[in-house]
Amino acid sequence: MENVPFSAGSQRPESTVPAGACDCHVHMYDARYPAASGAKLMPPDATAADYRQLQRRLGLSRVVLVTPSTYGTDNRCMLNGLAALGSGARGVAVIDGQESDAELHSLHEQGVRGVRLNLSLGAAGSVDQLEPLAQRIAPFGWHLQLLMDPDLLASQAVVLRQLPVPLVFDHMGRIPPDQAQSHPAHSLLLELLRSGQAWVKLSGSYIVSPQGSVEDPALDALAASYLRVAPQRVLWGSDWPHATASAGMQAMPDDARQIDRLNQWLKHAEGATTLKQVLVDNPATLYGFEASGT
């Protein structure tokens, strides 16, 4: 197959990807939309048409677009991507909590099903927003997606346990693999998964890896820990177009290998679940896709 923008390699996954598979973490970039003040990542344009090429290569049909840190609370680029990708796409927005009901309803009508609070590379938001944002989005049935340093995450345990919305932790909870069984943030994530309050995305593994690679064997135990504890609460995302790799922080990952590594993590979890549950059934539950089919 031909090469896909912002993805190493050119082959399909070796694993058999089930019909209706969803990539739960993708960003769109477009220079027509200005970057937020203080934005740390400024990647080149990455469009819905570019992503369609990756979908075809990987055998995916559904996608979740997440407003990236680059744009702060400006969701226009993400919403433009939703419109281009159609009914097989859902969105995760970034808001400040001051939006009117009409504004949030409009986001919902366009396919938004959650909001993200990025306290790692974000140009907007603070930990003080956890409860106000959760209260604001609860009436819409949305979830709160979180990315933060493990120490900060652990420090917010009391608050997180009491929030009135589902929580989604992207990039494997940002837990360093060598701290998977010792850091209190990992224990907290496992607790929230067991209780049914949280979901975790097996995304950005190359970011979490000290080697900067999805091939890092140290990732196996961390991924398997989530799959064993709550297989019905695990999602997968490519993190295309890999903004941190474009910025030279890691090598550009091969997204087919990312799917194959997911399949390997399932084996490390000793059959806790299947590719279909992670790629089709779980996203259908969280994001409101039909349970099967394309």
From the list 74, 149, 170, 239, the catalytic residue is 239
The CA-based angle 205-15-232, given to 5 degrees, is 60
Kind and range of the H or E run holding 219 = helix 219-229
Separation of alpha carbons 171 and 187, rounded Å: 16
- CB distance 4 to 50 below 8 Å: yes
The CA-based angle 242-76-143, given to 5 degrees, is 75
User: Residues 70, 72, 74, 75: what is their CA dihedral angle, to the nearest 10 degrees?
Assistant: 70
Token pair 């570019």: residue: 50
Active site residue 151: no
Q: 10 Å Cβ neighbour count for 247? A: 12
Separation of alpha carbons 153 and 127, rounded Å: 9
- Annotated catalytic sites, by residue? 239
